[in-house]
Amino acid sequence: MSLAHGHPYLAIPGPSVTPDRVQRAMHRTSPNIYEGQLVEMVESLWPDLKRLAGTANHVAAYIGNGHGAWEAANTNMFNRGDKALVLSCGRFGHGWAAHARDMGIEVELLDFGTASPADPARVEAALRADTGHRIKAVLTTHVDTASSIRTDVPAIRAAIDAAGHPALFAVDCIASMGCDEYRMDQWGVDVTVAASQKGLMTPPGMAFVWFSEKARVQCGQSDLSTPYWRWGPRAAPEEFWQYWFGTAPTHTLYGLREALDMIFEEGLAQVWTRHDTLARTVWAAFDAWGAGNPAIRLNAARPEWRGRSVTAARIGGEDGTRLRNWCETQAGVTLGIGLGMNSAEDPNADGFLRVAHMGHVNAHMTLGALAVMDAGLKALSIPHGDGALSAAARVAAGGSAPDPASLA
């Protein structure tokens, strides 16, 4: 007997829920791409995209996905043989590093595991050791989509400054843009990458690279640069078609315009606060469940280590997979798989899952997902502490979650 028939809720960490407004804005036949409404509309996107990332500098948009954004960043920043210092706190730092190596870039990887953020001290030490300033750029994720670990971007900037190193600072905000507070210029970031399908609430198909004036001057003419990825003409085109190096992604652009309208109608600070509060409802539930079953626990031990757009958690054994299946087939909620989170403790990914709370998400959606998980734990007889939903509701009501220590 399934209770899943109804409006399904996709709570995976991207692509996120496409708002009805965005869907409606995209439902149209193709527009003229040489003049008229589309051309005018596109001009309105750039100031809003910069405002979103907190920069007064440059932005290039691509038909591509998040991996495309990596390739755009790497091919513009590096020459073959340059060196990158890459910080990894989960899976996607490794991914960005692998991409760089594939391009012939030398990579020094600082691996911080999958359950804690980058340690600024190690970053500073690595940079100090690079006395010849061979490191062209420091690369990090803001929030790792797999581990949900959030790195303290200003602290890494401070480490670079403390080391007196001239490297560029590049941040992957694919899982955090439009969810977690982010201030590119104020935080001293040179290159920021993101994509359309998470906090930006637009279907997959567009990638973005913001870059500082310093990056503009130092990059863009590398021997890895290609016509498609070269950011210069995209950020400052002489003709409209150069924004996209060819045909514009017309429908996605209409979706993006609507999504940006939604973000700024709500207010960017309020968007961040909403994500923060909803994230804390999820944490409160996991803390309560975990109080009754030590196998259930959040991947990031400390709140300040946690992204506000997605929560990775350990359920244990095969219970993660069993719970995900129950939620999807019995209750209409699709949770994220425990992507690459297998560890010595849990040698397969079955023990992990992820709950997304990114983009177009409200209290009903998130509390409903938690309530469904609670029902699933009961249905599957997975041990769990009581009061998880009440604790989550208390956070949504504006209160605090109980101190996890008090739950045990």
Q: Which of residues 107-136 bind a second copy (CB under 8 A)?
A: none
> Residue 271 Cβ, how far from a second copy at the closest point, in Å?
7
Of the pair 44, 270, the CB lying nearest a second copy is at 270
CA distances from 262 to 23, 259, 359 (A): 13, 5, 10
Q: How far apart are CA 133 and CA 85, in angstroms?
A: 11
Contact (Cβ atoms closer than 8 angstroms) between residue 357 and residue 163: no
> Residue 362 Cβ, how far from a second copy at the closest point, in Å?
3
Contact (Cβ atoms closer than 8 angstroms) between residue 355 and residue 336: yes
Segment contacting a second copy by CB under 8 A, of 81-89, 110-118, 208-216, 385-393: 385-393
Figure out which of the listed residues 30, 131, 217, 344 binds a second copy, where binding follows CB under 8 A.
30
Q: Is 291 in the site for a second copy (CB under 8 A)?
A: no
93-96: which pairs have CB atoms within 8 A and are 24 or more residues apart?
Answer: 93/139, 93/140, 93/141, 93/144, 93/172, 95/67, 95/70, 96/70, 96/139, 96/141, 96/172
Figure out which of the listed residues 55, 57, 65, 141 binds a second copy, where binding follows CB under 8 A.
65
Q: How far apart are CA 289 and CA 375, in angstroms?
A: 12
Nearest CA among 228, 171, 170, 175 for reference residue 197:
175
Restricting to residues 328-347, which ones interact with a second copy according to CB under 8 A? 330-334, 337
> Residue 261 Cβ, how far from a second copy at the closest point, in Å?
12
Segment contacting a second copy by CB under 8 A, of 32-40, 185-193, 231-239, 307-315: 32-40
Q: Is 273 in the site for a second copy (CB under 8 A)?
A: yes
Count of residues of this chain found to bind a second copy when the rule CB under 8 A is applied: 100
Contact (Cβ atoms closer than 8 angstroms) between residue 13 and residue 141: no
> Residue 152 Cβ, how far from a second copy at the closest point, in Å?
24
Q: How far apart are CA 394 and CA 265, in angstroms?
A: 27
Of the pair 43, 102, the CB lying nearest a second copy is at 102
Q: Is 147 in the site for a second copy (CB under 8 A)?
A: no
Q: Is 94 in the site for a second copy (CB under 8 A)?
A: no
Contact (Cβ atoms closer than 8 angstroms) between residue 198 and residue 310: no
Contact (Cβ atoms closer than 8 angstroms) between residue 78 and residue 262: no
Of the pair 116, 277, the CB lying nearest a second copy is at 277
Of the pair 95, 404, the CB lying nearest a second copy is at 95
Cα angle vertex 223, ends 75, 185, to 5°? Answer: 40
Q: Is 6 in the site for a second copy (CB under 8 A)?
A: yes
Contact (Cβ atoms closer than 8 angstroms) between residue 87 and residue 93: yes
DSSP 85: E
> Residue 185 Cβ, how far from a second copy at the closest point, in Å?
26
What sign does the CA torsion over 313, 316, 318, 322 have? negative
Helix (H) or strand (E) holding 38: helix 37-53
Interface map 190-209 toward a second copy (x if CB under 8 A)? -----x-x-----xxx----
Nearest CA among 202, 191, 205 for reference residue 358:
202
Figure out which of the listed residues 9, 169, 211, 243 binds a second copy, where binding follows CB under 8 A.
9
Q: How far apart are CA 44 and CA 257, in angstroms?
A: 8
Q: Is 28 in the site for a second copy (CB under 8 A)?
A: yes
Restricting to residues 233-272, which ones interact with a second copy according to CB under 8 A? 244-252, 262, 266, 270-271
Of the pair 102, 213, the CB lying nearest a second copy is at 102
Segment contacting a second copy by CB under 8 A, of 6-14, 124-132, 154-162, 182-190: 6-14
Q: Is 378 in the site for a second copy (CB under 8 A)?
A: yes
Of the pair 159, 193, the CB lying nearest a second copy is at 193
Segment contacting a second copy by CB under 8 A, of 45-53, 63-71, 232-240, 314-322: 63-71
- Which of helix, strand or coil describes residue 202? coil
Figure out which of the listed residues 20, 43, 161, 318 binds a second copy, where binding follows CB under 8 A.
20
CA distances from 215 to 165, 167, 209, 350 (A): 15, 10, 11, 42
Figure out which of the listed residues 79, 116, 277, 293 binds a second copy, where binding follows CB under 8 A.
277
Q: Is 26 in the site for a second copy (CB under 8 A)?
A: yes
